Amino acid sequence: MTARIPSVLLAASILASGLFLAGCASSGGRAPVEDRSLGGRPTPAVVTGGAPAIPRASTGSENAGKPGYYVVKPGDTLARIALDHGQNWRDIARWNNFDNPNVIEVGQVLRVVPPGVDAVAVAQPVATPSSVSSRPLDSRPAASEPASSVAVAVAAAPAPSAPPAPAAREGDDDINWLWPASGPILATFDEARNVKGLAIGGKAGDPVLAAAEGRVVYAGSGLRGYGNLIIVKHNATYLTAYAHNQTLLVREDQAVRRGQKIAEMGSSDAERVQLHFEIRRMGRPVDPARLLPPR
């Protein structure tokens, strides 16, 4: 005799199965990074825009509050923590001996400076070099930061771990900066309003250029509000961020030249086509207009 499953249990089972399949479908789509140096062939979907982190067993609570350490807060990702501290997320993963880089947990304490570096000196506030003066911009009235939306995941190719980043060195401020896009300025840096960079207008597909030579430390869409994002580390002091792209043309750990086309402008996680461009000194946003050459 065939056993009869109560209708309530059967409905619950079907609903749970449907939710599981829907979740898989919503998270499984991955847009490949387009590498035109390889004839436009898609790169393997290995590292997505998400953020790896520390295993549950090691919280590092004994280091909470010490210079050079960071306590994970709700909503954090390893990629954002790395950006805010001017580091490569792969370095942070290695410094914290991650065994299973999948999930970070609120309250975990992460080392965010290289072992052996004077964390007290690194933690001190830093200012833009005094030799650099402000220059007026032919800008429109500042616009508010675009509202966040769901970004399409962009895959990055596998990359070997980079060596630990050293402390700031003399001469790191001597960078020959280049404008990353040629469009009009839509919004300017405004620390009081939490506008961390410049918004540069343009058309979908316009070229986005590396502002200086360096190495790609992030290429993906795991930072809410940034859309398809590239982060380039130029030396131990400076990195740049290029957000809201339509297409990413470089991979993590790839060396880039000053002026190299690294992405195409778009509107991912933004209300209009634009490039959100940041320059960060020791992880802290600085006004790009004080460093970029006159237009």
Token pair belonging to 189 = 């840096």
The overall pTM is greater than 0.75: no
Asked if the structure places residue 174 within a domain, the reply is no
Kindly indicate the confidence band of residue 20, based on its pLDDT and cuts at 50, 70 and 90: very low
Instruction: Note whether 119 and 198 are same-domain residues.
Output: no
Q: Are residues 117 and 189 in the same domain?
A: no
Instruction: Answer with the one of 123, 147, 169 that is the final residue of a domain.
Output: 123
- Residue at 216 is within a domain: yes
| Adjacent-strand bridge partners of 239 | 233, 280
- Residue-level pLDDT at 117: 77
Is 190 in the same domain as 274?
A: yes
Segments forming the whole domain that contains residue 197: 185-290
Q: Look at residue 211 in the predicted model and tell me its pLDDT.
A: 98
19 is a domain residue: no
Residue 224 lies in a domain: yes
Q: Is residue 229 part of a domain?
A: yes
CATH code for the domain of 266: 2.70.70.10
Q: Using the 3D structure, point to which of 123, 139, 155 is the last residue of a domain.
A: 123
Please, which pLDDT band fits residue 63 given cuts at 50, 70 and 90?
confident
In a domain, 253, yes or no: yes
- The residue out of 123, 138, 170 marking a domain boundary is 123
Q: What is the pLDDT of residues 72-90, one digit of tens each?
A: 999 888 888 989 888 888 8
What total number of domains does the chain contain?
2
Q: Is residue 21 part of a domain?
A: no
| CATH (domain of 81) | 3.10.350.10
Asked, for residue 248, whether it belongs to a domain, the answer is yes
User: Does one domain contain both 99 and 192?
Assistant: no
The pLDDT of residue 14 is above 50 = no
